[in-house]
Structure 1
Amino acid sequence: MTTPTIQRRRLGNALKRARDQAGKTQDEAAGVIDAAASKISRLELGQSGIKTTDLKLLLDLYGVTGEEAERMRDLARAGRQRGRWTGFRNVIPDWFRAYVDLEADASEIRWYQPEVVPGILQTEAYIKAMNATARPRITDGEVDRQVKVRLERQAILDQPYAPSLSFILSESALRRNIGDVATMRGQLTHLAQVAERPNVDLQVLPFDAQTYEVASFGFTILRFDHDATSDVVYLEDYTDATYLDRPDAVRAYTALWSRLQAAAMGQVESRNLIARMTDEKRTPL
C-alpha cells in the first residue's frame, strides 16, 4: 500500500525537478500562488497537499504539459486522500503524522537515539511508564491510545517485506530508568529479542566510546525502494519536527551515522552488554 504521504513526496520531487529545469526560484514559485517561499519548500518536501488551482499555476510557470502534467495531477489527487493514521488525529500531532507514514513505507531505517528507547522498540509497560510522568498529565484513555499507536507502528517489524532496520542506542538510553525494575528488565529483554531478527542491526554506543563526535540529539534516516537519492532525515524536538532531503544535509547526517556506527560496539558485543544489564535488573527477592 502506498500512502498519501509517499504520493505527496513523489509529487514534491517532481515539482522541485520541474522548477529546477525551468530555472525558477522558490520565491518566484511562491509569488505565482500568492504564498510564502516556505510553502513551496513544504510542498517539495511532501509535507502538505496542494490545491488544484495552485498546481495548475505552478505547472504553467514551469512549462510542464502533456503526460507529465497529468501524472502530477494524479499524484496530487492521491496525496489529498486520508492517510492511514488520520483516525489518531488526537494522539499524533500533524508534524509527526507525516513521519509515521514515511516510517511505514521505508525500505531502510537508520535510527540514532541518545536518551530513551526508540518508539518502535518500546514495550507496552515502558510506554505507559513514560506517559505516567508526562506534563501536563494525560488521561488513562489518552495513554491507551498512545500505546495503541506505538504498538501498531511496531507492525513493520513483522510485515512480509519488513524494512532493514539499524539502531544505534546510547548506553544512557539503556541505563535510564523508566518505570520500575520489572519495566526496565522487560524492555531490555525485548531489545535483546528484537536484535536477533535478521532484518535488525542494533548497536550500543558505550559511555567510554572512543569518539569526539558531538551527537547529543537523536535523528532518523529513512530510505525508500533502497534508493539513496530518496533519503529523508527526520529531526524531532519537543513541539515540532524537521524533515531534510537536501543532498548536502543528507550527506552530512549519513556521514555522522557512519562515524557513530564505527564508534559503537559491534552487534554481538551490544547484545552481550544488554544481556548483562538485564541480569542487573533482577527484581530482589
Structure 2
Amino acid sequence: MGQARQTVERLQLGLALTRLRGRANKSQGEAGAVINRSASRLSQVENGKGALGTEELVKLLDYFGVRGQERETILALGAAARRRSTRRGYVDNLPEPFQRLVELQAAARQINWYECGIVPGLVQSPDYIRAIMRLSNSIYWDSSEAETVERILFREEHQRRVLEIGEPKQIDIVFTEDSLDHVIGDASVMRGQLLHLLQLLERQVNIRVVPNGTANNPALGGGLVVLDFPQATPVSFASVLHGPYTYYDQPEDIEPMQRIFTRVQELALSSEDTRMLLIDRLKEAK
C-alpha cells in the first residue's frame, strides 16, 4: 500500500496515537500486531503518512485503554484523516484542540512565530502567563478558578515540551515592540517579561522585535505560526482571538504566510539590537 498524502489531520492523528501508545507503554510492534499490521506500517501512520480504518482504530483504542471523550475525539480525528477530498484549510473543531496544537509544535523541526501587540505564548514569562489567563477568566470562558489554573499549567507545559524536550529546534520569534507597551498584570509583570526574554536569548532562542514606528509592516493586527517538520509538509495557522484554529498545509496558503514571516524578519531588529532594546526598556522600567 502506498503512503497517503500528509495532511494536518493525519499528522494530528499520528501524534495522538504516538502519545496514547507511549502512555500505555506499548511498542509499535505490539500495537501493530493488534490490528495485524507491521511496526513499519504503524510507524507510517504515527508519522502522518497514513490513516487507519475505523475497526483498526477501535481495536487500538481498546488496547490502549482509551475511553470517554478522548476516545470519541480520536475516532472523529481518524474519520477526518481518511478523507481524500482536497480542501484549503482544516478547522479543528474537536475537543481539546490545544493538546493537538502543542503536539504539532513539539514535533516540528522549525517554528516561525509572529505576533502583533502581544508577546507570543511560547516566550511568555510565568507571571505574564498567570496574568493573561486571569484577565481572560470570565471573558473567554465562564468564570472558573479551576479552569484558569488548568490553562496556566497547560501553557507552562506547552513551553516545556517545545523548548526543553526532544531534539533541539530552530525557533524564530518576531513580535512588534508595542507588545511591551501593553501592560499585562502590572509593571512588575512586564519587568519580569523583559528579563525572561533576555534569558531566552541567552539560550539561543532567536527573538527579534519590530520597532515602534516601522513603516510598511504587512502583518499589522495579526499573528501567524509556520511549522516545518522533518518528514512532513509544513503547516501554518493564523492567530485568532476566539474559536478554533484553521490549519493550512497547501502551497497556495503556506507560501504567502512564509513570505509574510520573511518580511517581518527583514523589518525586525537583529537579535543583538533586540537585546539592547530589551535592556534599555528594563532600565527605563526601574
TM-score range, shorter-chain basis?
0.5 to 0.7
Q: Which amino acid aligns with 2:128?
A: Y
Look up the SS of the partner of 1:15 in the other structure.
coil
Look up the SS of the partner of 1:207 in the other structure.
coil
Q: Report the CA distance shift for 1:256/1:78 in structure 2 as closer, same or farther (over 3 A).
A: farther
**Sequence identity of aligned pairs in percent?**
24
Root-mean-square deviation (CA, aligned residues, Å) is 3.4
- What corresponds to 1:170 in structure 2? 176
Matched, 1:279 2:283: yes
Q: Distance in 2 between matches of 1:78 and 1:187?
A: 44
- What corresponds to 1:220 in structure 2? 225
Q: Distance in 2 between matches of 1:188 and 1:133?
A: 20
Q: Distance in 2 between matches of 1:214 and 1:42?
A: 24
Q: 1:270 aligns with which of 250, 274, 278?
A: 274
Q: Report the CA distance shift for 1:93/1:174 in structure 2 as closer, same or farther (over 3 A).
A: farther
**Structure 1: gaps spanning 5 or more residues:** 1-12, 18-40, 50-65
Give CA-to-partner distance per residue, 1:13-70, whole Å, 9 cap, x none: 94347xxxxxxxxxxxxxxxxxxxxxxx875675799xxxxxxxxxxxxxxxx99998
Look up the SS of the partner of 2:130 in the other structure.
helix
The number of aligned residues is 222
1:131 and 1:138 in contact (8 A); partners too: no
Q: Which amino acid aligns with 2:102?
A: V
Q: Distance in 2 between matches of 1:224 and 1:253?
A: 16
Look up the SS of the partner of 2:233 in the other structure.
strand
Q: Report the CA distance shift for 1:43/1:266 in structure 2 as closer, same or farther (over 3 A).
A: closer
Q: TM-score, with normalisation over the residues of structure 2?
A: 0.67
Per the TM alignment, residue 175 of structure 1 is displaced from its structure 2 partner at its CA by: 1.6
- What corresponds to 1:188 in structure 2? 194
Q: Report the CA distance shift for 1:115/1:78 in structure 2 as closer, same or farther (over 3 A).
A: farther
Q: Which has the higher contact order (CA 8 A, sep 6+)?
A: 2
Structure 1 residue ranges (4+ consecutive) displaced by more than 6 angstroms after TM superposition: 66-70
- What corresponds to 1:53 in structure 2? none
Give CA-to-partner distance per residue, 1:256-277, whole Å, 9 cap, x none: 1111100111111111111111
Q: TM-score, with normalisation over the residues of structure 1?
A: 0.67
**Structure 2: gaps spanning 5 or more residues:** 16-36, 74-93
Q: Distance in 1 between matches of 2:209 and 2:256?
A: 21
Q: Which amino acid aligns with 2:243?
A: T
Q: Distance in 2 between matches of 1:252 and 1:125?
A: 35
Q: Which amino acid aligns with 1:118?
A: P
